[in-house]
Structure 1
Amino acid sequence: MSDEFMDINHIEKVKDALEDDQYNWRTVDGVANQLGISSEDVRKIINGQLRDQVVRTYDSNLNSAVYTTRKHYGEKESTLNRLLSAFTNRVV
């Protein structure tokens, strides 16, 4: 799917999947599987249309980058975790 023609419904669905209350963090593949769209399209949306709304960290247990929205991160992570992440530059 071309970046300039990315379906607005897919963008909203990716955002909703990242903010799903069942999860604090999501992998690209997990979102793609849930929505039935390609991992490449999810990655394009995260790095494109949602880039200012999404934060990323690395999960060593999954050996993968994981993502959530800034809003969801603020609601789900404790103040202490957010401060520690800021000091260690763990969340970008």
Structure 2
Amino acid sequence: MDEQIEKRIKKAFENKKYEWRTIQGVATESNVSQEDVRIYLSLHGDEIVKSSARNLKGETLYTSRENYRGRTGIGLRLSSVIRNRGA
């Protein structure tokens, strides 16, 4: 994947205006295809948090680890880890 495309996608995921992002929202903001965002997710999944909730349209929501840490207290993050262990 082109380095400039990766930078634009990363910047969109780290946009502080949004707590959670859809693939479509990130693609639109970074001016790339949704497929490019999916490829980025597969290459950089360790930098992204996937929400257990979905938006009203049923779309999966994502955020950068940096945004997640900045917006979420340690207690909620720990409870998320505990909940996800059973899956």
TM-score category, normalised to shorter length: 0.7 to 0.9
Distance (Å, rounded) in 1 between the aligned partners of 2:38 and 2:54: 19
Task: Tell me if structure 1 keeps the 8 A contact 2:47–2:64.
Answer: yes
Q: How many positions carry a matched residue from both structures?
A: 84
1:52 alignment partner, SS class: helix
Task: Tell me if structure 1 keeps the 8 A contact 2:50–2:61.
Answer: yes
Per mean C-alpha deviation after superposition, the further-off stretch among 54-63 and 68-77 is: 54-63
Letter in 1 for 2:28: N
Distance (Å, rounded) in 2 between the aligned partners of 1:35 and 1:60: 21
2:63 is the counterpart of 1:65: no
Q: What stretches of structure 2 of length at least 5 have no aligned partner? A: none
Task: Kindly state the Cα deviation for residue 17 of structure 1 after the two structures are TM-superposed.
Answer: 0.7
Identity of aligned residues (%): 36
Task: Kindly state the Cα deviation for residue 80 of structure 1 after the two structures are TM-superposed.
Answer: 2.5
TM-score (norm 2): 0.83
TM-score (norm 1): 0.79
Per mean C-alpha deviation after superposition, the further-off stretch among 9-18 and 72-81 is: 72-81
Task: Kindly state the Cα deviation for residue 51 of structure 1 after the two structures are TM-superposed.
Answer: 1.9
Q: What stretches of structure 1 of length at least 5 have no aligned partner? A: 1-5
